[in-house]
């Protein structure tokens, strides 16, 4: 039985009891406990079932390397799967449940997999589920995922909030143990800006447990000294998760994991730019591979020490220590000093000597040299061990009853932060571990090493083990199939050896074939043992086999922290016009246009969207409509060379445009493809205002600056993107003029303001610019007003327009009305492969200009070809609407057995004005095909017949817009 000791526990506060539950069972712990410590204090040794075989699993470690004790934590909006009990601080009301078992942790039917283990060897899935191919997705994978797996993903919204923060420092110290504290102190005293991070809730690392009083005093004094330095910042519960280029580090701070619901952010992701990174990340103890090393009660020797000394928890009355190095003797001594029994230290080395060994012997602890554990007795918990000779094959020499086994296979430096950005490792034969190769560090922006490992992370001060990769060394198959390498993914010594026999030589391939080190712990315990076994099986050496790649994050980081503040209302910036609130108040149905939300239509009463759109169009054509066109891009272009510049940017001529006049223009990219369009107005002798599409505002401004800064840097032109300075409202319809006249102030008569002109003035008391332009085909004014007065103007127009039947219309009505007029839309008629000539827009291309952007591209043979798909209108014979994206089919099949095509639809709508389906599209021959009948494919299969017609369906003469 594991239990709480009467005394001791350097990390806990015995005056503060804490109640929590595990699988519904109420338990008690102390403040300062990790959940793992508190579970052991309550004799909960069995904490989960293994991934594949559903074997009983207990707590193995005491830190981030823990593979087994993964819990479902919390409930409802605070439910989180796969939380490590060893790094979770216990708090009042904590609710944890175990994972991967059914129907219960104690009785799990999946354990039949364990009995069938010989039928589930490494690569089993690859070998078994090959055929039929489709079955993988629909049959095998769902079943396997159900039977093998860890926690379930949460289904509801996360109740907590998260945030991110930026930090900058000269020296980032990852790890708050003695090495890290010393590094921070040195750097701090040298005046460097220091940030020191510690993943646990206390400073001092292992020295709190293993150090003497002097060490602990030094820690307290150093923490105090650092805290007093203005240039040093310290953060507990903050793990450096990954190192990236140029000293960029991500760190995950568990701000409120242990105080849920207190209103603080649960996690904070730090985005740190550090000049230099000091990795004081310590080392991780390795398990030993003996049969039954996964039975609950078998733990790392250092973890046993942590529980006894740090938390005052006994793993059991009798603990057998098994080791290949001196370090585990610390554990035996600690146990005995705590009043517990150590029946035996099983030392695999033929000769054990040294100060620690002597001290253990002096305490009367039996030390068996050259011995090994043949097997661990027990099922859901350890009941004893059988000893054998390490040199032999496992013949049992003795049985020892015990409740726990403390194992130590030596230590591996935590080199993750060193390796994330390319730092290389060297195999230290004497130390039996990979450590950083100081001659090949990850390099920063200046070419110098940007990470330095110190202390145990650099392989310093670790006990020298004798290489023991399999225990006993001559173990047969029966034992090796019970020697776990990777606890979390259920990979055994026999699996890796099988992979080697089957021809896997690369460690990266073996990893994927056996899934060694691929679980959430990323092989923190299993990696070195696994590749040592592989090296042995390949008759190679460990450095020759090499390691797998270390990738960030060091331990899993929750998505919430990565998303930070980007949730809910602020998931993404949502742009709204100055009139947005009115739209919302009037039931607008919005559509996203880039990051803008624009009203698609304004349904009234019980209308559906199609009915609303129809009403809006008919009303605009009969009376007057209002469109919020504020999102259109508006860019001022000014300077002595502005005219010349615009003549290069647009296919038409803008330099000759008269002041006060408007002209429609097309912009192409260098390859000749149509990129944007809009109305350009000339403000003064040397300044123009270019309207762009909504999506083009920033893009075209950047395009202009690109050409001005990189190519025509000596041209005297300035641009200013004033898109958001103005609200812009289109007043369109036969009664538009009457509405403006009702507001009064500016003369909008046909004589004073003819089509394609503009004027500055006052309308309803507001300074405005009125443009007489039309995208709907009706008499139309686009009124620009300072954004801060946009809503006021809109309200006035609604009010004044009431007498004339004014109604707002949305983007869909706008789209349909322009299609009825045969006006092209960037993004509908264009897709980056269309030149203006394809759209019969030759009239907007100057033939006289020597050059413009896109001219040479358009002269290339492919783009100038006569048989390109060109714009035409289409009407179905039955009046139906051609489906979006439909192709015009042609005779025969292509090389892929697909039907040949001769064109496609680009815009297709039901026209409320014409009471039938209308469409624009591209077809070989374009307008030359007028009168032809063609067939469009449909989504449902089959085709729909249509006639090629003029794309201007409504008011071809332009009578409506010219009144």
Partner 1 sequence: MSESVSALGGASFDGFVAVREIGPLGMISLRVKPGVAGLDRAIREVVGTGVPAQRRIEVLGDRAVAWMSPDELLLILPYRDTETAMATIGSMLAGQHHLAAVVSDARAVFRIEGAKADQVIAKLCPVDMDRLAEGEVRRTRAAQVAAAFWRQGEGVTLVCFRSVAPYVMGLLKHSAMVGSELE
Residues at the site binding partner 1, with contacts judged by CB under 8 A:
161, 163-168, 193, 233, 255, 262-265, 268, 271, 273, 564-566, 569-570, 572-578, 595-596, 636, 638-640, 687, 716, 718-720, 722-726, 765-766, 786-789, 791-793
Of 687, 659, 795, nearest in space to 739 by CA: 795
Task: Specify whether the CB–CB gap between 183 and 160 falls below 8 A.
Answer: no
- Provide the minimum distance between the beta carbon of 573 and partner 1 in the complex, in angstroms, as a whole number: 4
Three-class DSSP category at 491: strand
Residue listed under structure tokens 């930090």: 167
Burial class (CB in 10 A: 0-12, 13-18, 19+), 878: exposed
H-helix or E-strand spanning residue 582: helix 580-585
Three-class DSSP category at 371: strand
Non-local CB neighbours of 141 within 8 Å, separated by 6+ positions:
129
Burial class (CB in 10 A: 0-12, 13-18, 19+), 217: exposed
β-strand pairing of 404-408 with 298-300:
parallel
- Provide the minimum distance between the beta carbon of 695 and partner 1 in the complex, in angstroms, as a whole number: 14
Backbone angles phi, psi at 602, to 5 degrees: -120, 80
Closer to partner 1 by CB, 166 or 862: give it.
166
Find the angle CA(850)-CA(856)-CA(862) to the nearest 5 degrees: 145
Closer to partner 1 by CB, 786 or 881: give it.
786
β-strand pairing of 313-314 with 3-4:
antiparallel
- Provide the minimum distance between the beta carbon of 360 and partner 1 in the complex, in angstroms, as a whole number: 47
- Provide the minimum distance between the beta carbon of 646 and partner 1 in the complex, in angstroms, as a whole number: 14
Instruction: Output the six-digit token pair for 466.
Output: 């004798």
Closer to partner 1 by CB, 247 or 394: give it.
247
- Provide the minimum distance between the beta carbon of 662 and partner 1 in the complex, in angstroms, as a whole number: 19
Closer to partner 1 by CB, 150 or 766: give it.
766
Non-local CB neighbours of 481 within 8 Å, separated by 6+ positions:
117, 118, 492, 493, 494
Closer to partner 1 by CB, 159 or 900: give it.
159
- Provide the minimum distance between the beta carbon of 164 and partner 1 in the complex, in angstroms, as a whole number: 6
Closer to partner 1 by CB, 596 or 650: give it.
596
- Provide the minimum distance between the beta carbon of 216 and partner 1 in the complex, in angstroms, as a whole number: 27
Question: Distance between the two ends of the chain, CA-based, in angstroms?
Answer: 96
- Provide the minimum distance between the beta carbon of 595 and partner 1 in the complex, in angstroms, as a whole number: 8
- Provide the minimum distance between the beta carbon of 747 and partner 1 in the complex, in angstroms, as a whole number: 19
Give the Å distances, CA to CA, from 475 to 472, 480, 652, 787, 907. 5, 7, 85, 81, 74
Closer to partner 1 by CB, 405 or 793: give it.
793
Backbone angles phi, psi at 744, to 5 degrees: 75, 155
Helices assigned H by DSSP within 438-554? 477-480, 493-501, 507-514, 527-537, 542-545
Neighbours of 334 (CB within 10 A): 22
Closer to partner 1 by CB, 165 or 803: give it.
165
- Provide the minimum distance between the beta carbon of 704 and partner 1 in the complex, in angstroms, as a whole number: 12
Closer to partner 1 by CB, 17 or 595: give it.
595
Chain centroid to Cα 327, Å, comes to 41
- Provide the minimum distance between the beta carbon of 167 and partner 1 in the complex, in angstroms, as a whole number: 7
Closer to partner 1 by CB, 263 or 447: give it.
263
- Provide the minimum distance between the beta carbon of 268 and partner 1 in the complex, in angstroms, as a whole number: 8
Q: Per-residue b/e over 441-466, b at no fewer than 16 CB within 10 Å?
A: bbbbeeeebbbbbbbbbbbeebbbbb
Task: Specify whether the CB–CB gap between 280 and 386 falls below 8 A.
Answer: no
Non-local CB neighbours of 4 within 8 Å, separated by 6+ positions:
41, 312, 313, 314
Closer to partner 1 by CB, 342 or 689: give it.
689
- Provide the minimum distance between the beta carbon of 723 and partner 1 in the complex, in angstroms, as a whole number: 7
Closer to partner 1 by CB, 26 or 572: give it.
572
Closer to partner 1 by CB, 234 or 845: give it.
234
């Amino acid at each position: 039985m594991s239990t709480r000791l009467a005394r001791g526990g350097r990390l806990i506060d015995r005056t503060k009891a804490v109640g929590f539950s595990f699988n519904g069972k109420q338990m008690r712990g102390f403040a300062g406990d990790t959940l793992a410590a508190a579970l052991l204090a309550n004799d909960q040794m069995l904490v989960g079932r293994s991934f594949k075989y559903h074997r009983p699993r207990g707590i193995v470690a005491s830190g981030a390397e823990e593979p087994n004790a993964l819990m479902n934590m919390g409930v409802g909006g605070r439910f989180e799967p796969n939380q490590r009990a060893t790094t979770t601080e216990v708090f009042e009301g904590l609710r944890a449940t175990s994972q991967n078992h059914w129907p219960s942790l104690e009785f799990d039917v999946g354990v039949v997999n364990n009995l069938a283990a010989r039928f589930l060897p490494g690569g089993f899935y690859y070998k078994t589920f090959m055929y039929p191919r489709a079955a993988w997705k629909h049959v095998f994978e769902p079943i396997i995922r159900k039977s093998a797996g860890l926690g379930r993903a949460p289904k509801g919204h996360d109740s907590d909030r998260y945030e991110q923060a930026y930090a900058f420092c000269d020296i980032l110290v990852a790890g708050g143990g003695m090495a890290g504290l010393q590094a921070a102190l040195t750097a701090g005293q040298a005046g460097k800006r220091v940030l020191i991070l510690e993943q646990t809730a206390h400073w001092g690392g292992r020295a709190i447990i293993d150090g003497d009083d002097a060490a602990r005093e030094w820690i307290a004094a150093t923490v105090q000294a650092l805290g007093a330095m203005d240039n040093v910042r310290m953060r507990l519960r903050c793990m450096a998760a990954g190192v990236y280029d140029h000293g960029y580090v991500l760190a995950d701070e568990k701000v409120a994991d242990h105080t849920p619901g207190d209103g603080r952010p649960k996690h904070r992701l730090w985005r740190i730019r550090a000049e230099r990174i000091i990795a004081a990340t310590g080392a991780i103890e390795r398990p030993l591979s003996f049969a039954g090393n996964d039975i609950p009660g078998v733990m790392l020797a250092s973890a046993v020490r942590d529980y006894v000394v740090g938390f005052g928890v006994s793993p059991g009355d009798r603990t057998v220590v098994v080791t290949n190095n001196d370090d585990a003797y610390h554990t035996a001594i600690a146990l005995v000093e705590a009043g517990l029994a150590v029946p035996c230290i099983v030392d695999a080395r033929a000769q054990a000597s040294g100060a620690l060994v002597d001290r253990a012997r002096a305490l009367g602890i039996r030390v068996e040299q050259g011995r090994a554990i043949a097997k661990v007795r027990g099922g859901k918990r350890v009941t004893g061990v059988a000893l054998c000779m390490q040199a032999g094959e496992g013949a049992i020499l003795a049985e020892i009853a015990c409740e726990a086994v403390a194992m130590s296979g030596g230590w591996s430096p935590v080199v993750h932060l060193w390796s994330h950005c390319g730092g290389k490792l060297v195999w230290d034969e004497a130390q039996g571990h990979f450590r950083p190769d100081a001659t090949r560090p990850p390099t920063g922006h200046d070419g110098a090493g940007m990470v330095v490992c110190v202390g145990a992370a650099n392989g310093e001060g670790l006990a020298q083990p004798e290489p023991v990769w399999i225990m006993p060394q001559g173990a047969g198959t029966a034992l090796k199939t019970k020697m776990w390498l990777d606890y979390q993914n259920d990979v055994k010594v026999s699996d890796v050896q099988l992979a080697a026999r089957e021809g896997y030589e690369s460690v990266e391939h073996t990893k994927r074939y056996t899934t060694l080190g691929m679980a959430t712990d990323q092989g923190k315990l299993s990696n070195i043992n696994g590749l040592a076994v592989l090296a042995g099986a390949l008759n190679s050496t460990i450095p020759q086999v090499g390691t797998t790649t270390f990738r960030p994050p060091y331990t899993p980081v929750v998505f919430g922290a990565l998303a930070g503040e980007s949730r809910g209302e602020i998931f993404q910036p949502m742009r709204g016009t100055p009139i947005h609130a009115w739209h919302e108040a009037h039931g607008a149905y919005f559509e996203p246009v880039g990051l803008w939300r624009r009203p698609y239509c304004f349904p009234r009463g019980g209308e559906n969207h199609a009915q609303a759109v129809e009403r809006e169009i008919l009303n605009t054509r009969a009376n007057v409509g209002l469109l919020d066109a504020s999102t259109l891009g508006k860019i001022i272009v000014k300077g002595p060379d502005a005219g010349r510049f615009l003549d290069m940017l647009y296919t038409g001529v803008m330099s000759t445009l008269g002041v006060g006049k408007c002209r429609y223009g097309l912009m192409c990219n260098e390859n000749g493809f149509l990129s944007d369009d809009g109305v350009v107005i000339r403000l003064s002798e040397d300044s123009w205002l270019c309207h762009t599409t909504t999506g083009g505002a920033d893009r075209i401004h950047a395009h202009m600056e690109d050409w001005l800064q990189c190519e025509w840097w000596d041209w005297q032109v300035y641009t200013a993107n004033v898109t958001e300075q103005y609200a812009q409202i289109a007043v369109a319809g036969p009664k538009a003029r009457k509405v403006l006249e009702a507001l009064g102030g500016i003369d909008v008569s046909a004589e004073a303001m003819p089509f394609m002109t503009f004027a500055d003035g006052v309308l309803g008391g507001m300074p405005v610019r009125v443009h007489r332009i039309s995208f709907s085909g009706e008499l139309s004014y686009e009124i620009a007003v300072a954004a801060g007065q946009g809503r006021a103007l809109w309200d006035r127009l609604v009010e004044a327009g009431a007498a004339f039947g004014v109604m707002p219309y949305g983007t869909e009505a706008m789209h349909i009305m322009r299609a009825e007029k045969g006006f092209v839309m960037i993004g509908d008629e264009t897709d980056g492969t269309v030149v203006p000539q394809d759209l019969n827009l030759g009239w907007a291309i100057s033939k006289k200009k020597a050059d413009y952007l896109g001219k040479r591209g358009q002269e290339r043979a492919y783009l100038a070809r006569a048989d390109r798909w060109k714009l035409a209108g289409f009407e179905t014979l039955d009046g139906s609407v051609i489906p979006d994206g439909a192709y015009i089919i042609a005779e025969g099949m292509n090389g892929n057995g697909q039907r040949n095509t001769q064109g496609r639809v680009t815009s297709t709508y039901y026209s409320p004005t014409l009471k039938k389906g209308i469409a624009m599209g591209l077809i070989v021959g374009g307008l030359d095909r007028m009168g032809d009948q063609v067939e469009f494919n449909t989504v449902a299969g089959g085709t729909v017949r249509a006639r090629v017609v003029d794309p201007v369906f409504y008011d071809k003469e332009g009578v409506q817009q010219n009144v």
